[in-house]
A and B are shown apart, each in its own frame.
Chain A
Amino acid sequence: GNSVTQMEGPVTLSEEAFLTINCTYTATGYPSLFWYVQYPGEGLQLLLKATKADDKGSNKGFEATYRKETTSFHLEKGSVQVSDSAVYFCALRRGGGNKLTFGTGTQLKVEL
């Protein structure tokens, strides 16, 4: 079946540090890949997505590239801010429906 594996957190960084959150997936064919973010006390919201191999999704300074050869979709940001503190979920969608398979989430804490 489909599955998503994320690095365990929490990840604690100083402001302006470089961020990488690893995500790998298992799925047949060519899934669409997503990163969702959950701020404290809120629901999840879409951060970025990629629908085919070598696509790069980007938003709010975050980027992730769909790597078919390594089945990965790592999230990166060049300079994190305290306001980026949240839980980040990697997810995939396989097929035409909208059932998403989520990873376990990675908590990011950014300190001054």
Chain B
Amino acid sequence: NAGVTQTPKFQVLKTGQSMTLQCAQDMNHEYMSWYRQDPGMGLRLIHYSVGAGITDQGEVPNGYNVSRSTTEDFPLRLLSAAPSQTSVYFCASSYLKARANTGELFFGEGSRLTVL
């Protein structure tokens, strides 16, 4: 039961570097999303996707890009890392179709990113 798999679990970057956080799910979920978790701020939605080829912005999209070429994968790209992007990132997925959509999101274990 792999569920939602995120890699890497830990990463340290220097300001200005780029990197990609990987997310894969094996539950055939239509919906995938990225959140960041910061102390005192809870989880904030960065980007989301309702299916392959479809992405949209969430609450805090600046500095991040996403793509959804397959149902299974939803990578998050940091184009030029900044210290303000130091955070814990979570990928989450769920069903969207009405009969299967309970509203439950399935989360990965998180990726802790530090930008120096």
Mutual binders A and B: yes
Q: Which of A41, A45, A97 has the most CB of B within 10 A?
A: A97
Which of B31, B41, B42, B90 is close to A98, meaning CB atoms less than 8 Å apart? B31
Query: Given the complex, which residues of B lie within 8 Å of A46, measured CB to CB?
Result: 104-105
Using C-beta atoms within 8 Å of the partner chain, give the interface range for chain A. 20 to 34
Chain A residues within an 8 Å CB radius of B40: 104
Total residue contacts A-B, CB cutoff 8 A: 58
How far in angstroms is the closest Cβ of chain A from B94? 5
A99 CB contacts on chain B under 8 angstroms: 33, 45, 48, 58
Decide if B43 touches A89 in the complex (CB within 8 Å).
yes
What is the CA–CA distance of A30 and B107 in the complex, to the nearest angstrom? Answer: 25
Q: Looking across the interface, which residue of chain B has its beta carbon closest to that of A31?
A: B103
Do residues A98 and B107 form an inter-chain contact, with CB atoms below 8 A? Answer: no
B93 to chain A, nearest CB (A): 9
What B residues does A43 contact at CB under 8 A?
A: 4, 90, 92, 107-110
Q: Flag if B90 contacts A44 (CB, 8 Å).
A: yes
B50 at the A interface (CB under 8 A): yes
- Once the chains are docked, how many angstroms separate the CA of A58 from the CA of B116? 43
Q: Which residues of A contact B (CB under 8 A)?
A: 4, 32, 34, 36, 41-46, 49, 51, 89, 93, 96-100, 102-105
